[in-house]
Structure 1
Amino acid sequence: MGSTSEFDDDEDFTGLYENGHWEWDEKEKGLAFIPDPDLFAEESWMSPPAAAIGGADFKDDIDLVEQLRFKKAFARKTFDGDVVKLQDIKDIVLYTAPPVFLNPSIIHLMHLPGTDRFLRALILYHQYYLQVADEMSKRMLELEVKVRTPYGDIIEKEYKENLDDLRLLITKEYSAFAIGSGEYKKFHHMGPAKDRPSLSKKGNILFETLIRLSIQVVWLALGRKSFNQIELEMHRLFKTEKYNMVEHKLKSNYAAKMSPQERYVLFGSCVHNDRKVNICSPLRNESCKDLPDWRLLGIGVFKYPNLGRRLKYMQDALTLPEMLLEKKRIIVGILGLARSRFDTMLKEITFPVGTSSTSMVGGARTSVFRKSISRATSRVSRVSTSRKSIGVSHLTIPDKLIPDIEFPTRETETEWLPIKFPDEYLPQNSCDLTQRRKWLARATRLALKRARRLRRTNRAKK
């Protein structure tokens, strides 16, 4: 038997079919091995803009020509009876994002099953957060003229527990990304084996870009409403109130204006006010408290028997194909709604008062009512716009594009103590490889343009 030194080189040996994936080659009618790029190689990262850290300008005022260009080149091909998918929202976000945001790392990261679960959890949480915030604001006003009852405490406790559990769903998905486990290994700042020097700057850019894109995804999924609230809460979750850059910029002082009861319900009881240098985000705190149900740590990934209606609702919200969401009465923003209700940029199609959708036919309806309602100029932080301010007071706009979420009560959950932790995985929705290839090609073209521009600049300086 040889010494261990004979096998030292084996540790760095890379097999022929490692660091890549298999895809079906339609031209060759067979499987083809596609090597994955080094997602942290220097050439895959352009100099990050200042917008990557903090805010960024997304193009919201897309004209009809740009919409047609997007639909022809990048939009997913739809069919009769199709529904809004998360991929549709991601496509619009990537198309309207600053070009420097598009690099191989971001494109690959945005097309992973785990990222889809993460984005769905964010959509579900912020939808319910806005719903509860609105309800709590009404309750606080009513308490000025009414007497508080024990039943009110029960209702508010239920709101708080639901928000706690939804934050835990986000924590579960985000933690996998942060520690580089599973499909996120190649995105870890110390490499897949965590044996490289820390690329903390690139890791920070990846994190900031993901958060900024996630804000835009959630905003689109919730019908382009309450952007500031979504942005503030997203930064609070991941960076704490002290490091909430959006709040420092807007100076809304929204948290201080809340009553103690509102803060308790909306922010939970796991917010630790440690020293300022000790960053301990609310998401990090959520994972350290006494769990109401440990199955939340694996829901959407592992297959659990005997799930109650409440946990089944959350599991379906994370993993169910969009075509089945409305059938199961699962509400995750506009996901699962009929695609025909929206225009190319996922703005709801509305009609003049007294005009039904069936009274307009053919091209007239398409040319008039599929026009995008342009928002004001693109800006970092948008304030929810009223009907009059965007000039659509003559349109019939439904009061509730997205119904309120009603979680089954916790009492329906059944206790289940397994012999061992489940090791059977749930089937995951596969990401659209065609769309990923389109965006990778666009990222490559943009990178070549930037490289040519840089060479011209250098030649001009000489």
Structure 2
Amino acid sequence: MLRMHAGADLPNFISGKWSWDNKTERLLFEPHFDLEDVRDRYIETNGYSFLRTLTQVEEAVFREDYVRSESTFDTDTVAINDVRDLVLFLMPKEFLTMKFLEFMHQPAVHRLLHALIIYFDYFLRLVEFVLIRRDELAGDMAQIQSEQTNEMKRIFSVQLSQYRMLVARNYSVILKGEGDMAKFYHMKPVINISITLEDRFFHEQFLAVAIQIVWITMHRRAYYVIEMEMNRLFRSEHFVMNRPEYLKFTPAERSFLYGRRNKNVSYLLQVSPLILELQHVDEEDLPILWIGKRKYRGNNIRIAKIELEYIVPDTQLRMIDVTHGILGHPKRFYDTILDINWPALRHENYSLANDPYHIIRQPTLRIPNVVDAHLHRMSQKDEHFFKIFHIYEPCNKQNLLKWLQRENKLISIVKGDIKLDIFARCERELSKKSAGPNVDQVISKYFQLVSRLRKEASFIHPQSYYMRPELQRTGDDQFFGK
């Protein structure tokens, strides 16, 4: 991952520029304030101010303490956890509570964010398709829509509804508060009283963080489209603000994008669009609700494609020639805030024939066959034999406490209580009287790390250096051993 600022040490002088004042006939110094007073310093998301960029101090702190550890798998590839950690560092300080941090590190939330990224990747393509169709149907050279065009739109709308159904399935697991999510349920266990006010702020904070995660994953494009659709999905159109930046869709376009299940009633009786998707599920779409839980067995190509996109780890999407924003891309193409660095990318010499990460190839929509809907309804289902479980990286309480100390550490560095430059580090190391770990401890720690990251060998090594550790089961999910 490339640095945004040159060097890891902090300047001891005030950054600024000199200019000549003709009135006083002397040089004047104009200091820079590291984007403190610039509008691009922050971005408003659902009323909360998130950092858009990082100063040199913030970048040094983030890279030292909050970047994903090298002891995790695929640390050189962009994953959902990398985007999540970046957003947790950019979010306001009022979000830093133990309950919210623990919630964001839950496997159920990881699955929901994964489904949201897949959904918005397809949703943004359809929004672009709608805008292109607007231009084609307007003006002096307007085109006439045929019945095949309308059938193609219906197929696109059903496919988007299937992705929306997958998001609703993962969201409902959190809403029910079962298993590991029981501690975040809004009803108190003994007195059965809902903590409505606290749960409302908790929900608002999660929506703001989810918008930022999806927006950064989608190469920071179409921010207002993502914000508008995210609020509509989890609430309803009654609670979407009427902002001039939001796109205005016609009734036909709304029916195309929001699906046939969408309906608006009184706000007192309104159900969120995600729950509406689960209230009326067609029989041929029922296997979608089991994606990620058990292996699909049948001849429905569409469901098999959705399952493949969902169960393949985000760091290995290039193996199935699928892209979901920046997920699966090498970190050497991006800087600290996961913004693409085009000069570093030009040396790769990618082309349309050699583009494993879909950087040259733009996102497209495959024109469906008009018989795809009929084949989807007539598909055959077989009895399942295999269950699927995902393996997650564990997050201990020590890492959560480190997040809680984010603001205190930044303040200490600004005051000068903590030094981050290399000279201060060397002075601290030389001042220590302890000899440090011996050679045997260093070697043992190294082989422990190597045995965790390497694949299990087909033979038994004499010293068992290459054996994979046992998986740990905590609650409803599997975690890698430490």
TM category (shorter chain) comes to 0.5 to 0.7
Give the superposition deviation at 1:251. 4.2
Give the superposition deviation at 1:180. 0.8
In 2, Cα distance between the equivalents of 1:280 and 1:335? 32
SS at match of 1:331: coil
In 2, Cα distance between the equivalents of 1:99 and 1:83? 28
Give the superposition deviation at 1:238. 1.4
The 3 A distance-change label for structure 1 pair 106 and 312 is: farther
The 3 A distance-change label for structure 1 pair 253 and 206 is: closer
In 2, Cα distance between the equivalents of 1:107 and 1:405? 37
Indicate the structure whose relative CO is greater, using CA pairs within 8 Å and at least 6 residues apart.
Answer: 1
* Counterpart residue identity of residue 305, structure 2: Y
Query: What is the TM-score when the length of structure 2 is the normalising length?
Result: 0.65
* Counterpart residue identity of residue 115, structure 1: V
In 2, Cα distance between the equivalents of 1:302 and 1:333? 26
In 2, Cα distance between the equivalents of 1:223 and 1:208? 23
The yes-or-no answer on 1:286 pairing with 2:277 is yes
Partner of 1:224: 220
Query: What is the TM-score when the length of structure 1 is the normalising length?
Result: 0.68
Partner of 1:62: 54
In structure 1, which of residues 177, 199, 210 is the aligned counterpart of residue 174 of structure 2?
A: 177
The yes-or-no answer on 1:254 pairing with 2:214 is no
SS at match of 1:295: helix
Say which is worse superposed, 137-146 or 161-170, in terms of deviation: 137-146
In 1, Cα distance between the equivalents of 2:136 and 2:192? 58
In 1, Cα distance between the equivalents of 2:231 and 2:253? 19
* Counterpart residue identity of residue 161, structure 1: V
Q: Is the 8 A contact 1:319 1:429 kept in 2?
A: no
SS at match of 1:65: helix
The yes-or-no answer on 1:430 pairing with 2:392 is yes
The 3 A distance-change label for structure 1 pair 202 and 95 is: same
Partner of 2:85: 91
Q: Is the 8 A contact 2:77 2:315 kept in 1?
A: yes
Q: Per-residue displacement from partner, 1:382-431 (whole Å, max 9, x unpaired)?
A: xxxxxxxxxxxxxxxx9868633659875665734466xx6953121313
Partner of 2:258: 267
The 3 A distance-change label for structure 1 pair 320 and 342 is: same
The 3 A distance-change label for structure 1 pair 298 and 152 is: same
Stretches of structure 2 that go unaligned for 5 or more consecutive residues are 1-42, 350-357, 412-482
In 2, Cα distance between the equivalents of 1:264 and 1:313? 24
Q: Per-residue displacement from partner, 1:160-215 (whole Å, max 9, x unpaired)?
A: 01111111111111111111123211110114x57632212222222111111100
Q: Is the 8 A contact 2:84 2:213 kept in 1?
A: yes
In structure 1, which of residues 386, 396, 403 is the aligned counterpart of residue 363 of structure 2?
A: 403
Partner of 1:415: 379
Report 1:115-130 matches (<5 A): 115-130=109-124
Report 1:63-462 matches (<5 A): 63-78=55-70, 82-144=76-138, 145-191=142-188, 196-244=192-240, 247-248=241-242, 250-252=243-245, 254-255=247-248, 258-291=249-282, 292-306=284-298, 308-351=300-343, 356-357=346-347, 403-404=363-364, 406=366, 410=372, 415-417=379-381, 425-433=387-395, 437-443=398-404
Q: Is the 8 A contact 2:80 2:327 kept in 1?
A: yes
In 2, Cα distance between the equivalents of 1:53 and 1:358? 35
The 3 A distance-change label for structure 1 pair 431 and 80 is: closer
In 1, Cα distance between the equivalents of 2:218 and 2:362? 7
Q: CA RMSD in A?
A: 3.3
Stretches of structure 1 that go unaligned for 5 or more consecutive residues are 1-50, 360-397, 451-462
In 2, Cα distance between the equivalents of 1:148 and 1:183? 50
The 3 A distance-change label for structure 1 pair 140 and 333 is: same
In 2, Cα distance between the equivalents of 1:276 and 1:358? 53
Give the superposition deviation at 1:80. 8.8
Count of matched residue pairs: 351
In 2, Cα distance between the equivalents of 1:72 and 1:448? 12
Partner of 1:25: none
In 1, Cα distance between the equivalents of 2:76 and 2:117? 21
* Counterpart residue identity of residue 233, structure 2: L
SS at match of 1:58: strand
Q: Is the 8 A contact 1:52 1:101 kept in 2?
A: no
Give the superposition deviation at 1:318. 2.8
* Counterpart residue identity of residue 379, structure 2: E
